[in-house]
Homo-oligomer: A and B are copies of this chain.
Amino acid sequence: MTVTDLISEYRKGVFGGGKIAEAVDIYEEMLEKRCTVFLGLAGALIPSGMGKIIAELIRDNMVHVVVSTGANVTHDLIEAFGGFHLKGIQGVDSELHEKGIDRIYDAYIEDGSFVLFEENIQQILQRVDPELSVSDLMNELGRHVQSPHSFIRQAYLKNVPVFVPAFTDSILGLQTFLYSQDHPFFLDHIKDVGKIVGLVSDAAGAIFLGGGVPKNFIFQSMLMSPHTFSYALQITTDRPEYGGLSGATLEEAISWGKVSETSKLCTVYCDVTIAFPLIVAGVRNLFSRK
């Protein structure tokens, strides 16, 4: 059975299954209409093993702008530097701490991978211009890593801007702070606001993996634009009733003018690590059929 057959089964149904098929159709239409695709990356996507899928979407011109948490950049670079994430480790958290293993639900990473990260990132920071915007720094980092599975690398190769509004809220941010202790280093966050605002248009679609800062930063860029996103797709497990933006419906964004009544909107309430590989496989199969 192919994923396309499976998607066809979902298409007949309702609830979450029906939404999977709808998401495939919307993402496919974004690509057919040559939209600028904005991708928001929240949650521990790289530790979960989603990095390769994201890197390949950038490589294959299926994503054109990325907004990420600092943690996803950190863990992408850790893997690019030869560090790794583990699964199947046993033991309670205090035992893990003694062993120097850090837990991210059922993903694990050894302190050694962070040491490797520190060694590499401190060297790279010495080689980059000490006055950059955050997105320019991401581009520089992409220049200095080689792994084709790194989305930071692929973004550099494809000239895809990567925005990290909460840059200091990450181990990469901590490392940059350490570097700044004995080197001049100024990271311009405000400049990136103008840069992303310059990228939005009516020919844009947004894909939100989780909510958080990436979702809001992508959406708020439309507040300074006469345009709206023509497509928006979010995969989340959060919910609207508690009032946070991460769980807000995409319809709510109509009131803010971030999307319009005629925009195509789809929310899939599902663990991103289940839904996104399925949706991407569905879109790729549809494309390969053409």
Contacts and interface: CB of A to CB of B under 8 A. Distances in A.
B243 A48 contact: yes
A174 interface: yes
Nearest to A214: B169
A187 interface: yes
A190 B180 contact: yes
B48 A93 contact: no
B277 A274 contact: no
Interface in A173-215: 173-174, 176-177, 180-181, 185-194, 197, 210, 212-213
Interface in A104-143: 104-107
Nearest to A194: B177
Contact of A173 (B10, B190, B260): B190
A265 B199 CA distance: 44
Given A189-B189, A274-B20, A274-B275, A242 B237 contact: yes
A206 to B, nearest CB: 15
- The count of identical subunits is 4
A31 interface: no
A192 B166 CA distance: 12
Nearest to A4: B1
Nearest to A215: B169
Interface of A: 1-3, 5-6, 9-10, 12-18, 20, 42-44, 47-50, 71, 85, 87, 93-94, 96-97, 101-107, 165-171, 173-174, 176-177, 180-181, 185-194, 197, 210, 212-213, 216-217, 220, 223-224, 237-246, 248, 251-257, 260-261, 269-275, 277-278, 281, 284-285
23 contacts: A6-B278, A14-B47, A14-B87, A14-B243, A15-B242, A15-B273, A16-B273, A16-B274, A17-B48, A18-B87, A93-B254, A105-B240, A165-B168, A169-B213, A174-B223, A176-B190, A177-B197, A210-B244, A237-B239, A238-B238, A242-B269, A246-B246, A270-B271
